[in-house]
Amino acid sequence: MDFDAQLADRLAIQSVLSSYCRGIDRLEGARIADAYWPDAIDDHGIFVGTATDFVPFILRYMADAYAGTAHRLGQSYIEFSGDEAVAETYFASQHRLRDDEARIEAVDGRYVDRLQRRDDVWKIFRRLVVIDFLREHEGGAPRLADIEGLTVGRHGDDDPSCAIFADLRGNRS
């Protein structure tokens, strides 16, 4: 594989992973689903099944458990074999607990993905989520509420970034 093609494939895969994280944090089901091939399998531990079934499960789970989330991606180690790739991508996520917004759940782990390129499009075909660390700590909403003028992230269309993206797309709200 030539360097330019491999670079383009790596960027395409990283774009899929980034879009997935935005979908999870904003609870955008269509964006989450678009990261997977329709016949994909996801293993998050708390859920094992098709990507089609994963999307409504994770939307409901995240909305019920968390007032807000932030996923960050770290390095990806990617190996290619034709139209397939395996990627191990480190992530760190923080979740403001809905039942106690003063508590934060922090998770560090890895997305271990088998991806396939179909019709020049890369998407996840198999996902295994590996959790390396899980901890809770203080530092959520009550402190945020004390800082006047602070912009606080939210799930869904209420997140401040959604209006900015809509403005770019010409969908001014």
Please give the tally of structural domains in the chain.
1
Tokens matching residue 142? 């009550």
Counting Cβ atoms within 10 Å, is residue 66 exposed (0-12), middle (13-18) or buried (19+)?
buried
Residue 90: half-sphere exposure toward Cβ, Cα within 13 Å: 7
Least confident of 8-17, 49-58, 79-88, 146-155: 146-155
Q: Name 138's bridge partners.
A: 103
Tens of pLDDT, residues 149-167: 777 777 778 888 888 887 8
Q: Is the separation of the CB atoms in 84 and 114 below 8 Å?
A: yes
For residue 105, being part of any structural domain is answered with: yes
- The DSSP output letter for 155 is S
What CATH number is attached to the domain comprising 71? 3.10.450.50
Tens of pLDDT, residues 96-105: 998 887 889 9
For residue 163, being part of any structural domain is answered with: yes
Residue 63 has pLDDT above 90, yes or no: yes
For residue 68, being part of any structural domain is answered with: yes
Q: What is the extent of the structural domain holding 137?
A: 3-168
With bands split at pLDDT 50, 70 and 90, how would you rate the model's confidence at 172? low
Residue 141 has pLDDT above 70, yes or no: no
CA dihedral over 136, 140, 33, 1, signed as positive or negative: negative
For residue 72, being part of any structural domain is answered with: yes
Predicted structure pTM score: 0.86
